[in-house]
């Protein structure tokens, strides 16, 4: 299967991206699929167009992080380096009814909820069309997404169908969403993990810094003293345990469950175990990250851009022929 997915370079990669996105991407790559992963820098502009001062650096670091987490066998590329996405976006914009975009749930939600940024730009309304172009230009079979993106993939299929119908040629296959169950990690203060709350844990950090963030983390709020029994199911720390392997280790799982519910362990003991398990997964990533040179990142990016460009160009040749604009 050809798999396609992207990530926006709007800030530092945090632990939620690793658990929710990168682990899944690595799994798909290691299952032998033809995986294309990109940094969606044009998508970042749909909401963050006013300040682009960190865009270049964030893009570079994101590719380096993707290499460090183990995506070296995948085609890694940068969206804006493949200008064909913009051409296909323009053609899709011609055939997409405005009403399809106005009913996108994330569009309506974000317009209501985001008050600290101007989202009245046409680019923000149109970004599902750009997303459709990103996916369809590679004729992707599967797109790993979170639940909030399922509607976008449905819209991508509708755009593919409409294009094929209008221009009487089966240029685009219909991609499927690939949903996977991932534990949702809350921020260190127990609220939704978000840069604006300052409660995120960066993926690339050090043992000392990680410990400083994990140890004061909010736990089951009913467990005020060590002698109070707790409930892992309502504790954000247990979600981290599930994401970092404790729940897959029967002895450790039992130790946390019994220890917590019968007040045999304190939350500090529990977090020490979490830290050990997090380090087991993260230390090799940090070591790889620190050993990758800038030249290696540039070379990987150029190689990925070139491969993506060739695939995109082949699709655009078919598209131009179907639309009859071969100039």
Name the residue nearer to ligand SF4 (CB basis): 137 or 193. Answer: 193
Q: How far apart are CA 327 and CA 320, in angstroms?
A: 9
Token reading at 323: 């639309």
Name the residue nearer to ligand SF4 (CB basis): 153 or 193. Answer: 193
Name the residue nearer to ligand SF4 (CB basis): 128 or 232. Answer: 232
Evaluate whether 286 touches 317 at the Cβ level (below 8 Å): no
Q: How far apart are CA 296 and CA 219, in angstroms?
A: 41
| Least distance between ligand SF4 and beta carbon 93 (Å) | 49
Name the residue nearer to ligand SF4 (CB basis): 40 or 260. Answer: 260
Evaluate whether 82 touches 308 at the Cβ level (below 8 Å): yes
| Least distance between ligand SF4 and beta carbon 232 (Å) | 4
Name the residue nearer to ligand SF4 (CB basis): 1 or 265. Answer: 265
Name the residue nearer to ligand SF4 (CB basis): 10 or 211. Answer: 211
> Which of 124, 144, 134 has its CA nearest to residue 82?
134
Neighbours of 197 (CB within 10 A): 12
Residues 6+ apart with CB under 8 A from 307: 75, 77
| Least distance between ligand SF4 and beta carbon 191 (Å) | 16
> Which of 96, 125, 88, 95 has its CA nearest to residue 110?
125
> Vertex 151, ends 28 and 42: CA angle to 5°?
70
Taking the alpha carbons of 87, 88, 93, 94 in that order, is the dihedral positive or negative? positive
| Interacting residues with ligand SF4 (CB under 6 A) | 219-220, 223, 230, 232, 235, 237-238, 256, 260, 265, 267, 270
| Least distance between ligand SF4 and beta carbon 138 (Å) | 42
Name the residue nearer to ligand SF4 (CB basis): 195 or 226. Answer: 226
Name the residue nearer to ligand SF4 (CB basis): 152 or 241. Answer: 241
Residue 208: C-alpha distances to residues 2, 223, 275, 283 (Å): 40, 26, 10, 12
Name the residue nearer to ligand SF4 (CB basis): 25 or 240. Answer: 240
Segments in the chain forming alpha helices (H): 15-17, 23-30, 41-48, 55-68, 84-95, 98-102, 105-113, 122-136, 150-166, 207-214, 236-243, 250-261, 267-291, 294-323
| Least distance between ligand SF4 and beta carbon 208 (Å) | 20
Widest CA span in the chain? 77
Q: Indicate left, alpha or beta for 264 from its phi (over 0: left) and psi (-120 to 50: alpha).
A: alpha
Q: How far apart are CA 108 and CA 136, in angstroms?
A: 24
| Least distance between ligand SF4 and beta carbon 15 (Å) | 16
């Amino acid at each position: 299967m050809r798999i396609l997915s992207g990530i926006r370079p709007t800030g530092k990669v945090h632990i939620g991206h690793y658990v929710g996105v990168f682990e899944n991407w690595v799994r798909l790559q290691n299952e032998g699929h033809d995986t294309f992963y990109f940094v969606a820098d044009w998508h970042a502009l749909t909401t963050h167009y006013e300040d682009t001062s960190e865009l270049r650096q964030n893009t570079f670091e994101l590719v380096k992080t993707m290499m460090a987490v183990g995506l070296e066998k995948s085609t890694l590329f940068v969206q804006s380096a493949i200008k064909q996405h913009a051409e296909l976006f323009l053609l899709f914009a011609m055939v997409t009814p405005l009403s399809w975009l106005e009913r996108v749930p994330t569009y309506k939600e974000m317009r209501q909820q985001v008050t600290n940024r101007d989202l009245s730009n046409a680019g923000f309304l149109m970004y599902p069309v750009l997303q459709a172009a990103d996916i369809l230009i590679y004729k992707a079979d599967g797109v790993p997404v979170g639940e909030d993106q399922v509607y976008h993939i449905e819209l991508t299929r509708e755009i593919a169908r409409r294009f094929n119908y209008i221009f009487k040629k089966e240029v685009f296959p219909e991609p499927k969403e690939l949903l996977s169950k991932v534990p949702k990690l809350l921020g260190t203060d127990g609220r939704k993990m978000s840069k604006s709350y300052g409660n995120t844990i960066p993926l690339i950090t050090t043992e000392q810094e990680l410990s400083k963030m994990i140890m004061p983390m909010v736990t089951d709020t009913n467990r005020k003293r060590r002698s109070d029994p707790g409930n892992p199911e309502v504790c954000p720390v247990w979600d981290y345990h599930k994401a970092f392997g404790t729940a897959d280790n029967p002895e450790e799982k039992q130790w946390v469950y019994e220890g917590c519910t019968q007040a045999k362990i304190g939350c500090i003991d529990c977090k020490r175990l979490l830290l050990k398990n997090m380090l087991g997964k993260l230390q090799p990533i940090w070591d790889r990250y620190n050993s990758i040179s800038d030249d290696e990142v540039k070379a990987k990016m150029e190689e990925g851009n070139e491969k993506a460009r060739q695939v995109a160009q082949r699709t655009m040749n078919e598209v131009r022929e179907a639309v009859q604009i071969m100039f």
